[in-house]
């Protein structure tokens, strides 16, 4: 009985998918025992379906618990997320103008540009933690959407590459948050994503455990890329850019493989010295 019900459900589902708005139902006449196939139009039920879907997906804002419909954050919380008015075009550090900052001029990074949707401050830091350690994957969609808005018109990018996670970290977490965000960005921009282009070959000490000046050394030769990227313009996606040491090392790796240009698309940028 159990298996028959499953088979019927599967058939009904398939039929629904193929024909859109009609549902095939199998009915058995009690007196004759004959089977009838009825095709029921679902048109009158579509409106109810939409309402039911809304009710099922209705949720509370992750930050203030106000009703937020299908959105993970309510409109008010989303509009108040901290961002910068102007920033260094190369490292996305907040600054008074749109010129490159002193740090980039003094020690030129391998990457050519960076864009950050937000400042790494409350509540963005809490939301990123919720994505990485709380498995709130819907946040990857929100972050990608905001980053895509911040980027404006995207020109001169051939390929989106998420910052690789070491296989040990991937096994521990079950997903790479950068890849989840990158996947959404590829969908929004129409630019292809390749998550297998490069690998993280060294399971480095967490950057947060180290003083800023030791972070570049910690990242040395952390990545490997065996593919020929000759002439490609790559956008690297990550959740947080802190000192930029990790992204600088990765950009160096991509450029040694032939990348013509590397830019960073990050959800949040840490203000200097934090």
Which residues contact Zn ion by CB under 5 A? 61, 63-64, 66, 74, 77, 88, 90-91, 101, 104
CA distance 38 to 134: 45
End-to-end CA distance of the chain: 62
Q: CB 90 → Zn ion: shortest distance, Å?
A: 5
∠ CA 52-53-54, rounded to 5°:
90
Q: Which is nearer to Zn ion, 176 or 246 (CB)?
A: 246
74: left (phi over 0), alpha (psi -120 to 50) or beta: beta
Instruction: Classify 217 as helix, strand or coil.
Output: helix
Q: CB 62 → Zn ion: shortest distance, Å?
A: 8
Structure tokens at 50: 């939409």
Q: Which is nearer to Zn ion, 119 or 159 (CB)?
A: 119
Q: CB 44 → Zn ion: shortest distance, Å?
A: 36
Q: CB 103 → Zn ion: shortest distance, Å?
A: 5
Q: Which is nearer to Zn ion, 15 or 272 (CB)?
A: 272
Other beta carbons within 10 angstroms of residue 134's beta carbon come to 12
Q: CB 217 → Zn ion: shortest distance, Å?
A: 20
CA distance 183 to 28: 47
Q: Which is nearer to Zn ion, 61 or 116 (CB)?
A: 61
Q: How many residues can be counted in the chain?
A: 274
Q: Which is nearer to Zn ion, 69 or 192 (CB)?
A: 69
Q: CB 128 → Zn ion: shortest distance, Å?
A: 17
Q: Which is nearer to Zn ion, 61 or 229 (CB)?
A: 61
Q: Which is nearer to Zn ion, 145 or 202 (CB)?
A: 145
Q: Which is nearer to Zn ion, 22 or 136 (CB)?
A: 136
| Contact assessment for residue 240 and residue 270, using Cβ atoms and an 8 Å cutoff | yes
Helix, strand, coil share (%) of the chain residues, nearest 5: 40, 20, 40
CA distance 15 to 193: 33
∠ CA 79-266-184, rounded to 5°:
80
- DSSP secondary structure code for residue 87 in this structure: B
Q: CB 213 → Zn ion: shortest distance, Å?
A: 17
Q: Which helix (H) or strand (E) holds 232?
A: none
Q: CB 64 → Zn ion: shortest distance, Å?
A: 3
CA distance 183 to 162: 9
């Amino acid at each position: 009985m159990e298996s028959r019900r499953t088979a019927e459900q599967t058939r009904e589902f398939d039929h629904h998918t193929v024909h859109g708005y009609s549902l095939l139902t199998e009915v058995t006449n009690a007196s004759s025992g004959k089977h009838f196939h009825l095709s029921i139009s679902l048109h009158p039920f579509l409106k109810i379906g939409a309402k039911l879907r809304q009710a099922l997906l209705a949720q509370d804002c992750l930050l203030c618990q106000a009703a937020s419909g299908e959105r993970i954050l309510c409109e008010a919380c989303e509009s108040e997320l901290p961002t910068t008015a102007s920033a260094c075009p190369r490292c996305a550090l907040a600054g008074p103008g749109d010129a490159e900052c002193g740090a980039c001029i003094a020690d030129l990074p391998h990457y050519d540009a960076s864009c950050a949707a937000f400042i790494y401050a409350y509540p963005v830091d809490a939301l990123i933690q919720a994505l990485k350690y709380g498995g709130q994957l819907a946040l990857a969609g929100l972050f990608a959407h905001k980053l895509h808005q911040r980027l404006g018109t995207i020109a001169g990018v051939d390929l989106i590459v998420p910052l690789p996670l070491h296989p040990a970290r991937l096994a521990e977490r079950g997903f790479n948050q950068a890849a989840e965000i990158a996947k959404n960005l590829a969908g929004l921009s129409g630019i292809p994503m390749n998550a297998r282009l490069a690998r993280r070959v060294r399971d480095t000490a967490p950057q947060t455990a180290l003083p800023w000046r030791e972070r570049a050394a910690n990242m040395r030769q952390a990545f490997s890329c065996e593919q020929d990227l000759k002439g490609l313009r790559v956008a690297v996606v990550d959740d947080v850019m802190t000192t930029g040491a990790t992204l600088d090392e990765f950009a160096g790796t991509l450029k040694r493989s032939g990348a013509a240009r590397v830019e960073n698309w990050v959800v949040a940028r840490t203000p200097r010295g934090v």
